[in-house]
Structure formats: structure tokens, C-alpha cells
Amino acid sequence: MMSYYVTSESVTEGHPDKICDQISDGILDAYLAVDPQARVAVETLVSGNTVVIAGEVTAGAQIDVARITRDIIRNIGYTDPQLGFDDQSCLIFTHLNSQSPDIALGVNRNNEAGGGDQGIMYGYACREAPGYMPLTCYLAHRLVMRMAQVRKEGLIPWLYPDGKAQVTMEYDDSGRPQSLLSLVISAHHEDVDMEYLRGELMTHVVEPVIDSRWIGRKTRIHINPTGRFVVGGPAGDTGLTGRKLMVDTYGSVGRHGGGAFSGKDATKVDRSAAYMARYAAKNIVAAGLADRCEICVAYVIGSPQPEAVYANTFHTETIPVDMINQILNETFSFAVSDMISQLQLCQPQFLATAAYGHFGREDKGFMWERTDRVDQIRDKAVGYLAKRLGQDGSPGMTNHQV
């Protein structure tokens, strides 16, 4: 039997790139709160004690961009000037223009929205971990969420907001996770003794998250492997919106079309179609039609409908793949207006997506994480199987037998 390895990483909300994602999505939420039809595409850069916000916005009301930015920075935990970046003294530069009229021509149609760009989007689900997420991605997110929790609750008061985690699992040739090969944690911290730091992070972060059954004799655990991470956040590294695409999605498992999510309203199919594809994939797996499912969607700018929608089940399907694709296209509409309506994407909710992943967050109430189409999918599968069995000359079967 041939084994293979899967690696996923995640970062805390205080990582420079994630600061930018949160600012961009916080601004988006604020515009949607005053105008649900706002067109927003906002990019953020942080470097040193400076924030630069640029992009295109067309909305029926104005918002206080600087106040929102400072509130987000403060809530993340950057309040101490000694960190080299803080909510009160940081410089904020903004350059926001209206949406290009050429793009608006394709998006603003009479009865239905057109896609805001061309592109390919993917959604994925599997049975490895809670929330139908890949196990390595799930564990990486839980580790950095735990780092933020122990910092905010004062359990490890000398932690600073920045941080990262990386998880590598060994899988057998049937796709089942076997054991943890490697775990890496890099925690932003005050100048404390390194052995003490490693012991505290093992006790309060690693052990509460990583089940001991995954740890074997080959497992390697690296905590602050450079030996020092005192200079962090924007003081140590420049951040940009949209630079953590695999953290946002499935942690290197499944494909990615390349379009970032944060700061974009739902007419940007980079975001809305990726959410809808996740919704479809999750319901297909939850319905038992496959153990793994990846949905691919392609769009032309200005078109209300996708060019193509299809499913890949990686040979884990329980019914023929052509049936799964037929059920997919009958059950889920990937028209831009339908996605926005069904997933309630004109509502302010996106700041909550901007750290710790956009998927698998079942506690946040996101519509794309619901499994409310399972019964409908199962009923369609039963009907198609019964019909095919009958066409093949097989004896008649009841729904229960199918």
C-alpha cells in the first residue's frame, strides 16, 4: 500500500494578510448595511504602521472607512504602540473610486445580475472532519483559533496577535488519514523563555486540539522553530488582501480558481459562485452520493448564467456520476441573481468569514454551510436509480429497496 501526505496551513486574525482581509470585508459589510445593492471591490495593504485602502465602490450612502478600519484593528488586538502597529496611531490612506461603467454594463441588467468577471470557481466537501472539511484544514484552523482564544482570555497573556499553524497528515492509498506526520506552530510573543513558551503552547494549544490518536512515533512537532517571533504583524511583514487563498478555502485540498473573496460584493462570482459550489458539494456529500465532491463552475463576464457546472467525485460516488451531475444541475441554480438570493449574499456577514476560513464554519449561520437540500437530493437519486433499473429490464423496485 502506498501512502501520501497532505499539508494545510492557517493563520491567526492578527496575521498581516488576514488584517487586510478583515478590513476589506468590514468595509464591504458597512456598505451593505446602508445599501444592500452596493457594488464593492476593496483592497487593503498594511506595512509598518500604515494602512492603504483602495478600490471601487458604488453605493447609495457613505461610510466612515477610517473608523471601521481602526475598530477592526483594535478588535484583533493591536492596541499597543510597542508592537509597531496599533489602532490609534496608524496612518490610514484611502483611494476609493466608483465602479467602472464598462463592468457595470455587464453586471447591472434589467431583471437579473450578470457575473462581474470571467473565471473558474470550485467548491469542495468530504467526510474527513466536522463540517465536511478536510482533516488537515480543520485542524490547522482549530490550532490558530485556539491561539487567539488563549491570548484573548488571558490564559497565555504574553501572546501577541500574529501566528500560524501547519499540519501534515499521512494518508493510506484509500484516502483515509492515518497519523500526524508534522505539526508547526509559530506564535507571536513577548520576549519570554523559549522552553517555557513551547511548554505552554503544547499544554494550552496543541493538546486541546490534536487528538492523541493521531500522534505516532514519526510525529514531529515544531513550535517557534526559528527560536524567536517577537517582531510580528505589519511591523514585521507586509500584508495584502487575498493572499491566503488556501487558508480561505480547503487548505491545499481541492483546486482553486485563483480569485480572492474578501472585499468583494456578491456580483463578483469569485465569491458567490465559490460559496454556491461549496453549498452544492456539501449537500451532495451529506446526502451520501459521494465521500468526496468537488464542484467546478465557469463564467463569462456579464453573463447571468454559468458556462458550465460539473462535479468530480474522485471515484467515491455511490451512484453513477452522470446522475450526480444531473441532480446537481436540477437542484442548484448558479445564475448570479439566484445565488445572491438563495445564499442571502446582500446581507452584511462577511467580516466573520475573513479569518479562520470561509467554509466549515457551521456556528456562524452562513447559508452556504447548510445541508437543507439533502432530502431533495436523495429523493432525486432514488427516482433516477429506479428509472434506470426499470429501463435495464430489472425487476421493479420500491424506493426503499433502491
Q: For every one of its 402 residues, what pLDDT tens digit does the chain have, with 9 covering 90 and above?
A: 688 999 999 999 999 999 999 999 999 999 999 999 999 999 999 999 999 999 999 999 999 999 999 999 999 999 999 999 999 999 999 999 987 665 554 566 556 777 767 899 999 999 999 999 999 999 999 999 999 999 999 999 999 999 999 999 999 988 899 999 999 999 999 999 999 999 999 999 999 999 999 998 999 999 999 999 999 999 999 999 999 999 999 999 989 999 999 999 999 999 999 999 999 999 999 999 999 999 999 999 888 899 999 999 999 999 999 999 999 999 999 999 999 999 999 999 999 999 999 999 999 999 999 999 999 999 999 998 988 887 755 444 444 444
- Convert the pLDDT of each residue in 152-183 to its tens digit: 999 999 999 999 999 999 999 888 999 999 99
Q: CA–CA separation, 402 vs 398, rounded Å?
A: 6
Domain ranges for the chain = 4-11+134-231
Q: Which of 253, 227, 261 is nearest to 128 (CA)?
A: 253
Give the residue ranges of DSSP H helices in 44-167.
65-76, 101-107, 135-152
Quick check: 119 and 258 in contact, CB under 8 A? yes
DSSP character string of 145-199 = HHHHHHHHTTSSTTEEEEEEEEEEEEE-TTS-EEEEEEEEEEEEE-S--HHHHHH
Selected from 3.90.1200.10, 1.10.275.10, 3.40.50.2000, 3.30.300.10, the CATH number assigned to the domain covering 4-11+134-231 reads: 3.30.300.10
Q: Counting Cβ atoms within 10 Å, is residue 165 exposed (0-12), middle (13-18) or buried (19+)?
A: buried
The pTM assigned to this predicted structure is 0.93
What cell numbers appear for 188 in the block?
A: 507571536
